[in-house]
Amino acid sequence: MHKFEIFVAASLMGVFLPVSHGWSGGPYDRPYGAPHQSRSSVISTHGMVATSHPLAASVGLDVLKQGGNAIDAAIATNAMLGLVEPMSCGIGGDLFAIYWDAKTEKLYGLNASGRSPYALNRDVFKQQGLTQIPLEGPLSWSVPGCVDGWFELHDRFGKQKFADLLRPSIQYAREGFPVTEIIAGYWSKADQAFIDYADSKATFLIDGRPPVEGQIFRNPNLADTYEQIARGGRATFYRGSIARRIVDFSQGHDGFFSMKDFADHRSTWVDPVSTNYRGYQVWELPPNGQGIAALEMLNILEGYDLAKMGAGSPEYLHLLIEAKKLAFADRAKFFSDPEFNLLPVKQLISKPYSDRQRARINLQQAASDVEAGDPILQHGDTVYLTVVDQDRNCCSLIQSNYYGFGSKVTPGNLGFTPQNRGALFALADDHFNRLEPHKRPFHTIIPAMVTKDDRPWLCFGVMGGDMQPQGHVQVLCNMIDFQMNVQAAGDAARIRHVGSQQPTGVPMDASGVVNIESGVSNEAIRGLLSRGHKIERVAGGGYGGYQAIRIDGLNGTLHGATESRKDGVAVGY
């Protein structure tokens, strides 16, 4: 993230550099639609895939054209993303999904996140003099849940043979694929990140250097691993040779994995939770993820006439920031593994609670000290994909390694890095999210869906760590309050508040800093500064990566969107 401007109190005097109408450059000359919109929405009738890499989207579309359904296409797309965007996702990470099944006309939620090793506890870190869990290395590992998530989804809803879904990724892994522009940027510091990890260097560098835009990259080791999964199924990864190789590597490098950790892993089918925002039912998954923070923010904002304030106005942005602070204070205290704590989920997303939270907001002043409410009375590298098929089955799926290349460690020649999600545990004894054996850590990745009149209306997500709930809310306000189409809603300039308390227990300045993109107006900046917000104009990453499909039931069409902050596309037929 490159910071090229910092606005200080003197900015109130009117000293501002010009800003553009578009998020990434000058104003767009569009005869129709929003002036900031980078491209038209993609519209099709039969099926659609939207994700952050063109080859992954095309693989998923091929599956739909061959008779596969939304789950089949989602698995094939995700497998391809694990190859072409390995720093962000892969079979070393976790997975969450929301699925609308057109046959039963019901929503299903899947939590495919992994748990900490049985042998790892807080005393291990005390003995090593550590007050935080390291961000890399085997101490940050939790069991990867992605592969089990694939099989759970496929066993319940899939149509095509599982091995066929991995075939395109295996072929591309052996023959190679051209590295795209944004992903080349993510990859550019990998040689420094892998200084201590020889197997990662051998897997992800070419002649000791990260691949550059347009260069062909191959990962034959990942092709071998995918082939083993295609032949042996889930058991190969969790009870067979892949699990054994990861465990052997862990035990040889001061890690704590055992075969029991893998054999006992299970994904969990959960009921999505929701709130009604101005007639639209917005669905998220319950903790250990952070989806309900978006619902709490929406409940708070519903009490204000945002449409009258206007998109990008200082009044709206101030309320957005303050609602985020309140929701994230609750996130820091309560969001954790529900199998280990009685979590007040229903209370946190209730309308009466949002009324009490709303009363804490000062319309003219930024809050500097935000504690969690009483509901009883940065860094994420992630991929998101969405698929809608001809029967209008809808899949909203998000998958991640957490930090770029996860733990940075590649176990031998398996071709992927296990995630570092274990670093999101707290080490404080009294924290809901404290590390305990065989426990799921707090999770940042959240898929979302919106229904209208009990039918799917929007299948979407915004990847990017703490940005995700903030991104969900901004996109929905853009569409529902400010009447933007599905593409314009993602292209519109975003803000990101940084500084809320973290679920790891690490203290931060609650007042924080508001990062803004170049499309935010000078008027809005002045208005935020006058209310006491600290502002930084930040270019580049950090504002998430939006993908969406809107289901137009009236016309029988699908409207796809993918934002220009990523390399991806929405494709349909």
Q: What is the pLDDT of residues 331-348, one digit of tens each?
A: 988 889 999 988 999 999
What digits encode the pLDDT tens for the residues 225-250? 999 999 999 999 999 999 999 999 99
Sequence-distant (6+) residues with CB within 8 A of 308 are: none
What pLDDT, on a 0 to 100 scale, did the predictor assign at position 31?
A: 58
Q: How far apart are CA 432 and CA 503, in angstroms?
A: 9
Q: Residue 20: which pLDDT band, with cuts at 50, 70 and 90?
A: very low
Sequence-distant (6+) residues with CB within 8 A of 411 are: 199, 245, 246, 249, 250, 418
Is 382 an active-site residue? yes
**pLDDT score of 3 more than 50:** no
Q: Would you tell me how many other CB atoms lie within 10 Å of the CB of residue 6?
A: 12
**pLDDT score of 11 more than 70:** no
> How far, in Å, are 235, 415, 429 from residue 151 at the CA level?
10, 20, 36
Q: How far apart are CA 5 and CA 9, in angstroms?
A: 13
What digits encode the pLDDT tens for the residues 459-477? 999 998 889 999 999 999 9
What pLDDT, on a 0 to 100 scale, did the predictor assign at position 21?
A: 31
Greatest pairwise CA separation for the chain in angstroms? 67
Q: Residue 22: which pLDDT band, with cuts at 50, 70 and 90?
A: very low
What pLDDT, on a 0 to 100 scale, did the predictor assign at position 465?
A: 86
Q: Residue 169: which pLDDT band, with cuts at 50, 70 and 90?
A: very high
- pTM value? 0.92
What pLDDT, on a 0 to 100 scale, did the predictor assign at position 256?
A: 97
Q: How far is CA 126 from the centre of its chain?
A: 31
Given the residues 51, 180, 203, 382, the one annotated as active site: 382
Question: What is the mean predicted confidence (pLDDT) over 272-281?
Answer: 98
Determine the 3-state secondary structure of 466 from DSSP.
coil
**pLDDT score of 201 more than 50:** yes
Q: Lowest mean pLDDT: which of 27-31, 185-189, 248-252?
A: 27-31
Radius of gyration of the chain (CA): 22
Sequence-distant (6+) residues with CB within 8 A of 235 are: none
Q: Six-digit token pair at 169?
A: 């990724």
- Residue count (the chain): 573
Question: What is the mean predicted confidence (pLDDT) over 102-114?
Answer: 98
Q: Lowest mean pLDDT: which of 263-277, 479-493, 531-545?
A: 531-545
- Long-range contacts of 245-248, Cβ-Cβ distance < 8 Å, separation of 24 or more: 245/411, 245/412, 245/414, 246/411, 246/414, 246/418
What pLDDT, on a 0 to 100 scale, did the predictor assign at position 506?
A: 61
For tokens 């889930």, the residue is 234
Element (H, E) at 325: helix 314-334
Render 509-535 in DSSP notation, one character per residue: -TT-EEEE-TTS-HHHHHHHHHTT--E
Q: Six-digit token pair at 521?
A: 């107006």
Judge contact between 556 and 45, C-beta under 8 A. Answer: yes
Report which of 244, 327, 242 is spatially closest to residue 290, judged by C-alpha positions.
327
Is CATH 3.40.1400.10 correct for 2-43+270-380+444-572? no
Determine the 3-state secondary structure of 33 from DSSP.
coil
Sequence spans of domains, the chain: 2-43+270-380+444-572, 52-88+112-265+408-418
Question: What is the mean predicted confidence (pLDDT) over 383-396?
Answer: 97
